[in-house]
Each structure stands twice: as C-alpha cells, then as structure tokens.
Amino acid sequence: MPTRFRYASKPMAALIAAPLALALSACGGEEADVTTDASGPIDPIAAPEGTSWTDTVTVSEEGGYVLGNPDAPLKLVEYASHTCGACAAFAMQGKPELKQEYISTGTVSIEQREVFLNTFDVVLAAMIQCGPPERVHALSDEVWGNLGQVMNGVQQNGEAIQAAGNLPMEQRFVRMAELAGFIDFFAARGLSADEARTCLSDAAAIEDMVKGADALAQEDEVTATPTFFINGSRVDGPQWSSVEPALQNAGARPAE
C-alpha cells in the first residue's frame, strides 16, 4: 500500500541526513478537492508548423517544467518525487496516454514540480535539470522507469553515501552520485559525467532549487506525492484513473 508523508520544509543538512530507507518509499496522493466543471469540450490547438506539443518543454514562472502547449487552457501540475514508487507508476502507466491523447492536442499541458523527500531526490533533480529544459521530462521518465536500478547503488553503498554527507557542499552531491551509480546512469542517457559533476558541485544553485520547490509545495499544501492540480484545483486522487476523468470533466477530449 502507498504511504503518506507529512511534508515540511527541510534544510539542506536535514536532507543529507535523511534515512536511506526513504529512498525506496512509495508515497500516495491524498484525495481532496475536485476540478472545476467545464462549459464544454475544448477544441484542439495546432502546434507551430514543424513542431509537436509532446516535444515542447518550457519553464514556468514558478520554475516548473511544462510539457506541451505553454498556453494550454488546461494546465495540469504534478508535484512528484523521483524516489516515489507511486510517481513512477503514474509515469509508466498514465503519462504515455496523457501525452498521446491529450498533450498532443494542445489543450492540456503538464508541469512537473519537485518534492524532496530525501537527499537522493535532490541529487537526481539536480542532474535532471542539468542542461536544456527539453531533457527534463525524458530524464525524469527514465529514472521512474528504472527506479529499482537507479536506487540499487544506494542500497549497496549506504554507509559510504552517508559518510559523503560530511563533505563540503561543493563535493558532497558529486560524491553521492558517484557512489550511487547515478553518474553512469545519466551518462548512458545523454548527460555527460562532466556536465553532471559541474551541476552537482554548484551548491548555491542546488540550495536555491530546494528552497524554491519547498515554498511552492507548502503554498499549495502538498502533503503527498504525486499530487495533481488542474488550473489550480486539486485532483481527487493520485492515479491516472483519477486524473483522466478530471481532465475530461474540465473539457479535455482524446485526440481523434
């Protein structure tokens, strides 16, 4: 069964000290508000010539990564953790259909926002966001689709990774990524080891990322992952079986 967590802002030191067991926890979303009723179906919106909405990624004003039409009338926001099994399930079971049937029409976009449950979320997010925005959703899906493999190195090298938490910030995340095997995992997917080490050694940027993500999650009262919103209204459930009806209720229709 998915577990729920009580979300709170975590200072960097607390994230470093997070128990390794958290890295493999699955965190289910809470049921809450329903989305706004639609006045009727929304007509498809064509992508600019030579482009596809399913390949379009932009950065929102809040710092999230938006896949799809940035001006889509239905804006789906997902708060997710990269070490969350329930988030991985959505990425594998729901996101392909979301992209093919809804994001492709230009009427729906999905904005990915980070929730940090533990230090490994921080390391993974820093690597995923290292480079152009176009890579973020693809790399996130690679992590979720291979979550067991990604976290295997964490379990095998737990003591050494904990010890790496005592290193200076500029070395800490690099060493943790090396020990966990994250450097090699991302290198096989287009993020070079040099790129990864450069991003992971930028302690100021990582701290800003964590603070920004924590502020957004607290503002939206996110207490579980994944949590979804459509145009600011909380979706009643964390699975695709809850998200799709909410989108349709708001006016989305599958691609023809």
Q: Can you list the domains of the chain with their CATH numbers?
A: 53-250 (3.40.30.10)
pLDDT computed for residue 221 by the predictor = 96
Report the candidate in 138, 35, 30, 119 with the shortest Cα–Cα distance to residue 81: 119
- For residue range 45-101, list pLDDT tens digits in order: 999 999 999 999 999 999 999 999 999 999 999 999 999 999 999 999 999 999 999
Nearest Cα residue to 83 out of 137, 8, 149? 149
Q: Is the pLDDT of residue 210 over 60?
A: yes
**How far, rounded to the nearest angstrom, does the alpha carbon of residue 55 sit from its chain's CA centroid?**
17
36 token code pair: 């706004």
Cα–Cα dist 149/58, whole Å: 29
pLDDT at 191: 97
Residue with tokens 């940035």: 70
Residue 66's contacts (CB-CB under 8 Å, 6 or more residues apart) are 57, 58, 59, 60, 75, 109, 110, 111, 112
Whose CA is closest to 82, among 172, 158, 156, 185? 185
Share of the chain above pLDDT 70, in %: 85
**93, two tokens:** 């079971």
Q: Residue 194's CB: how many other CB atoms inside 10 A?
A: 10
pLDDT band at 1 (very low <50, low <70, confident <90, very high): very low
Q: What is the pLDDT of residue 11?
A: 52
| pLDDT at position 37 | 54
Provide the token pair at 110. Answer: 């999905």
Contacts of 136 (CB under 8 A, 6+ apart): 57, 65, 112, 128, 129
3-state helix/strand/coil string of the chain: CCECCCCCCCCHHHHHCCCHHHHHCCECCCCCCCCCCCCCCCCCCCCCCCCCHHHCEEECCCCCEEECCCCCCEEEEEEECCCCHHHHHHHHHCHHHHHHHHHHHCCEEEEEEECCCCHHHHHHHHHHCCCCHHHHHHHHHHHHHCHHHHHHHHHHCHHHHHHHCCCCHHHHHHHHHHHHCHHHHHHCCCCCHHHHHHHHCCHHHHHHHHHHHHHHHHHCCCCCCCEEEECCEECCCCCHHHHHHHHHHCCCCCCC
pLDDT recorded at residue 27: 63
Note the pLDDT of residue 67: 98
- Residues 10-55 have pLDDT tens digits of 555 455 444 343 433 346 544 444 444 556 899 999 999 999 999 9
pLDDT digits (tens, 9 = 90+) for 232-254: 999 999 999 999 999 999 999 99
- 108/2: higher pLDDT: 108
Q: Under a CB-based contact definition with an 8 Å cutoff, are residues 27 and 81 in contact?
A: yes
pLDDT per position as a tens digit, 147-201: 999 999 999 999 999 999 999 999 999 999 999 999 999 999 999 999 999 999 9
pLDDT for the residue 26: 41
Average pLDDT of the chain to the nearest whole number: 89
* Residue 256 pLDDT grade (very low, low, confident, very high; cuts 50, 70, 90): confident
The first and second tokens of residue 137, run together, are: 């959703």
Return the bridge partners of 65, or none: 59, 112
Q: pTM to 2 decimals? A: 0.88
Widest Cα–Cα separation across the chain: 57
